[in-house]
Amino acid sequence: MVFHRPPRASARAVFVVATAFTVASSFISLIAPPLHAQSSPTAAVAVGAADIGGTVKGPAGPEAGVWVIADTIDLPTRFSKMVVTDDAGRFVIPELPAASYKVWVRGYGLSDSDKVDARPGAVLALTAKRAESPAAAAKYFPGMYWYAMLKIPAEREFPGSDRNATGIPAGLETQADWIDTVKNSCQSCHALGSENVRSPHKELGTFPNSVELWARRLQSGQAMAAMAVTIGRLGPERGYRMFADWTDRIAAGALPFETPRRPQGVERNVVISAWDWGAPKMYLHDAISTDRRDPTVNANGPIYGSPEESSDFVPVLDPVHNTARLIKHPYRDPATASTRDDPLGTSVFWGDEAIWDSHTSIHNPMMDEKGRVWFTARIRPPENPAHCKAGSELPSAEVAPLKDSNRQLSVYDPKTETWTLIDTCFTTQHLSFDGNGTLWLSAGQPYSGVVGWLNVKQFEASHDEVASQGWTPIVANVSGTGKREPFVGADQPVEPGKDKWVKAAFYGVMPSPKGDVIWGQSMGTGFSRIPQPSYLIRLIPGSDPTHTAVSEIFQPPGGAFGARGVDVDLNGVAWTVLSSGHLASFDRSKCKARLEGEAAATGEQCFEGWTLYRMPGPQFKGVSESGSANHAYYIWVDRYNTLGLGANVPIATANGSESLLALVDGAFVDIRIPYPLGFFSKNVDGRIDDAAAGWKGRGLWTTTGTRAYFHSEGGKEARPRVFKVQMRPDPLAR
């Protein structure tokens, strides 16, 4: 294992990136020109007819590294664009649609400036407003600076026990399990550090103490059952005490113990565009703009979102014409339940209104080479048909019969505006195409211990959804032979010469671009109802995956835990993010010893294959400083330089820091999304609209993914937003 700890955010800046990269693919022509950290401090601010530019000054002179935001409601859907000032406090907001804008300044150490009216072509002299107090300044900090103030139970209080006086229940073996639960079960759905979470509304009622306030608070809305499960993992009384102590201290005036730094170096080159889409009561999980294997597919085309438990309507953005619309996702069986019928607690924001109404639970979209959009979506009730269960002659059912499936599959063809619904025996969560067009799907929770796929070519030729699908158990290659041997069940001990079925189904799934294996990631204790570590899983399909697929399983090394999401770079190296506060890579080629025996079943092997990078930001007090309090929901590798920081750059969707974290040459480029406050991303997608247009022809796409978007800036009237992130050569480039 190699451990990298990039400089702390308060120590020094990050950093001019390498100016050239090579890509061993047909996309080598997509490499952008070199990036420069700053323009010349004496250069004038050049503004075109579609730009707004100028300077920002404060009481002490030019304000460097602050955001200038332009926002308009004149277009068919609300639109904003954001840039960062250079060393001399200058800025250019490029390529704005014709409209009237409100323009203002936001930055660390500041309060928002007065909003100025402007139209494209204007040159403005903006006046920054210094924050009148540390509390006023801290209002604009990323959420993790606030939730890092949580007092995590000390290591000595673990393992938990049902008879433990500390209130920590059995199943939580370590402090890491507690942190993993807080991050991967609480922070993964809600922005814990946002103002509405850290400062509970008085409208909840009057309570004898804040423990009872939090007990009432977690009953609000349609997520109350899921929140009850999570607080149960922590031990309700002890979990409530932790959150109550946190909000009590904040109410008494406590502030974050660390402060963020302003954007530095190439972080000032960013251009962020944002559009409203969806509906005010909707939240979004993911978005897709192109084919993961070829980012030129669907150039300048619509962006599609997945509203998960909130709605059956798919939001669609046309970024060229600045319009947003909704498409109704169908389902096959009228008996399919809706989240509208889930248990509901009275909400401060919505009263007893059930704001979610989703039969389809549209979780994750993916686009194919034809521009069709594939979704993991529910189309029927959970009980499986007979061909999935024991006694079926379907080969996969003979190996691993499945009683139910909680989510299946669909595909939307924009050209014909038609839906095709595809029933799967296995539950679906995420999905990815391999180089042969096979669609691989994860199951999310580990209970089934299987990985499923759809042979798309076979399905298109036959329309036979049963014959075109298959699945395989996760069979750890305990025998070390490199091929699947007879295996023992998941609840059986290891036997010499045999492999072992491990109940660790994929959450993240990604075929290697080298075409040899499928990488998966399995969730740990914080997400699962069964105590287990998280894993990276390397599945070798073989010629007949149902019968030949065999897996290698890898746990993170000591001090690292809580893998979430997986992607694979062009070299076949797997990347993930960890709830221990790390971004991590795993290189299978570094394994020294033969992978076999008990360790092959537990994943306690090849620790030398891991490289860890500490995410920037503060750490919880009393927790190892090897990681940070930052949390990332997922990981995405920019294989083809769609952002402009180079090829093969891993990017973490760090909703703890309300940013995208790009790792370039071992150092982080921290791209904060400053508006609206509470940016919370669960995915990234990159597209090339015009390879000849330099930075203007490429960019990343992401969306807000918090389940309670009304906790963000804008409140209950706000709509979810979709963001485009671009990197220009310098902060004044047009």
Distance between CA 396 and CA 254 in Å, rounded? Answer: 57
Domain span including residue 41: 26-138
Together in a domain, 228 and 175: yes
Together in a domain, 55 and 30: yes
Distance between CA 284 and CA 291 in Å, rounded? Answer: 20
In a domain, 195, yes or no: yes
Would you state the torsion angle of the CA atoms of residues 343, 184, 708, 241, taken in this order, to the nearest 10 degrees?
80
Indicate the residue among 185, 220, 251 that finishes a domain. 251
Together in a domain, 174 and 187: yes
Distance between CA 281 and CA 709 in Å, rounded? Answer: 8
Say what the pLDDT of residue 529 is. Answer: 59
Is the previous residue joined to 511 through a cis bond, with omega within 30 degrees of 0? no
Is the previous residue joined to 159 through a cis bond, with omega within 30 degrees of 0? yes
Count of the separate structural domains present in the chain: 2
In a domain, 88, yes or no: yes
Together in a domain, 134 and 174: no
Distance between CA 635 and CA 632 in Å, rounded? Answer: 8
Say what the pLDDT of residue 9 is. Answer: 37
Global confidence as pTM: 0.93
Say what the pLDDT of residue 490 is. Answer: 87
Distance between CA 498 and CA 350 in Å, rounded? Answer: 56
Together in a domain, 116 and 209: no
Of 200, 195, 180, residue with least CA distance to 243: 200
Distance between CA 603 and CA 558 in Å, rounded? Answer: 12
In a domain, 447, yes or no: no
Say what the pLDDT of residue 444 is. Answer: 80
Q: Do residues 582 and 600 lie in contact, with contact meaning Cβ atoms separated by under 8 Å?
A: no
Polymer length of the chain: 734
DSSP 543: S
Of 673, 666, 695, 647, residue with least CA distance to 35: 695
Say what the pLDDT of residue 160 is. Answer: 87
> Residue 638 burial (CB < 10 Å; 0-12/13-18/19+)?
buried
Q: How many CB atoms lie within 10 A of CB 480?
A: 15
Distance between CA 400 and CA 409 in Å, rounded? Answer: 20
Together in a domain, 117 and 175: no
Q: How far is C-alpha 627 from the geometric centre of its chain's CA atoms?
A: 19
Say what the pLDDT of residue 449 is. Answer: 84
**Under 8 Å CB-to-CB from 11, ≥6 apart: which residues?**
none
In a domain, 583, yes or no: no
Together in a domain, 225 and 197: yes
Together in a domain, 51 and 155: no
In a domain, 55, yes or no: yes
Together in a domain, 129 and 52: yes
Together in a domain, 58 and 149: no
Indicate the residue among 193, 219, 251 that finishes a domain. 251
In a domain, 505, yes or no: no
Together in a domain, 109 and 196: no
278: left (phi over 0), alpha (psi -120 to 50) or beta: left
One-letter amino acid at 47 equals V
In a domain, 322, yes or no: no
Indicate the residue among 208, 227, 251 that finishes a domain. 251
Locate 499 and state its tokens: 């492999």
Token pair 């004496």: residue: 42
Strand partners, 117: 102
In a domain, 526, yes or no: no
Locate 386 and state its tokens: 């007979």
Which residue ranges in the chain fall short of pLDDT 50?
5-39
Say what the pLDDT of residue 44 is. Answer: 76
Token pair 């170096």: residue: 265
Say what the pLDDT of residue 161 is. Answer: 84
Q: Tell me, what CATH number does 88's domain have?
A: 2.60.40.1120
One-letter amino acid at 148 equals A
β-strand pairing of 450-455 with 635-638: unpaired
Together in a domain, 96 and 37: yes
Locate 476 and state its tokens: 């750890």
